[in-house]
């Protein structure tokens, strides 16, 4: 079974990178940008954690014994639950990016013709792409059953998501004002509002 996870994990990262690369190529050009986020300390730390996580996954795929000291005794069903989480994350990511269409950007920014999207997954949550990132990259902990690999990816993702959400929500409030405030009351940040 371990061999299956050693194949699934790199395939998951490759799929994530290809998916992201496709959308960056399709919608990533700078166009009428009014304001965009500058990379700060959180992004630099996230980048280092991502590099650590990437190298650790390569080692795990090729020589898993080298990382056995960081192994977690997770049951098989929980590891397969991680695969399910990743697939759910990819479905949500695709739904959100399709809903955004030309409004999608790889970097948090405001463009001149920006519209407030409140359909698709955005009718329930304000940041479904970041929820998808947390599902996909958070699943790595369960799939690998390795705390070093998992915490590197979770740490990177959480730092980036927190940094991006703060910037994006302030930008949306500046640009859309009361329209965005009303939208915020109806939706959850990363999960749907229950009440």
Model pLDDT for residues 41-57, shown as the tens digit of each residue: 888 898 899 999 999 99
Give the C-alpha distances (Å, rounded to integers) separating 89 from 1, 35, 152, 156.
Answer: 23, 28, 18, 17
Question: How far apart, in whole angstroms, are the C-alpha atoms of residue 182 and residue 179?
Answer: 5
User: Does the pTM of the predicted model rise above 0.95?
Assistant: no
CB 80 within 8 A of CB 139: no
Q: Could you tell me the pLDDT band of residue 70, with boundaries at 50, 70 and 90?
A: very high
Q: What is the pLDDT of residue 19?
A: 87
The structure tokens 């996580």 sit at 53
- Strands (E) across 24-121 are located at 33-36, 109-111
The DSSP code for 187 is: S
CATH class of 2-186: mainly alpha
When mean pLDDT is compared across 25-39, 130-144, 172-186, the lowest value belongs to 25-39
Mean pLDDT over 164-189 rounds to: 91
Dihedral sign (CA 86, 91, 95, 101): positive
Winning range, highest mean pLDDT, from 14-23, 52-61, 111-120, 162-171: 52-61
Token representation of residue 129: 């792409």
Cβ(133)–Cβ(155) below 8 Å:
no
Of 130, 139, 140, whose CA–CA distance to 165 is shortest? 130
pLDDT-derived band at 109 (thresholds 50, 70, 90) equals low
pLDDT at position 124 over 70: yes
The domain locations on the chain are 2-186
DSSP state of 146: B
177 backbone φψ class: left, alpha, beta (φ>0; ψ -120 to 50): left
How far is it, in rounded angstroms, from Cα 193 to Cα 195?
Answer: 6
Percentage above 70 pLDDT, the chain:
89
Token pair in block for residue 12: 């998951």
């Amino acid at each position: 079974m371990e061999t299956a996870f050693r194949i699934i994990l790199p395939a998951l990262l490759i799929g994530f990178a290809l998916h992201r690369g496709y959308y960056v190529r399709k919608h990533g050009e700078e166009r009428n940008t009014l304001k965009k986020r500058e990379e700060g300390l959180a992004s630099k730390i996230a980048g280092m954690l991502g590099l650590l996580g990437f190298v650790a996954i390569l080692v795990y795929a090729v020589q898993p014994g080298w990382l056995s000291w960081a192994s977690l005794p997770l049951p098989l069903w929980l590891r397969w639950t991680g695969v399910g989480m990743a697939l759910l994350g990819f479905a949500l990511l695709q739904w959100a990016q399709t809903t955004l269409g030309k409004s999608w950007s790889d970097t948090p920014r405001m463009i001149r013709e920006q519209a407030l999207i409140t359909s698709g997954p955005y009718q329930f949550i304000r940041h479904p792409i970041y929820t998808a990132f947390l599902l996909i990259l958070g699943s790595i902990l369960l799939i690998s059953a390795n705390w070093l690999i998992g915490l590197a990816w979770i740490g990177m993702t959480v730092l980036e998501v927190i940094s991006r959400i703060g910037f994006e929500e302030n930008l949306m409030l500046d640009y859309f004002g009361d329209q965005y405030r009303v939208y915020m009351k109806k939706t959850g940040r990363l999960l749907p509002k229950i009440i």
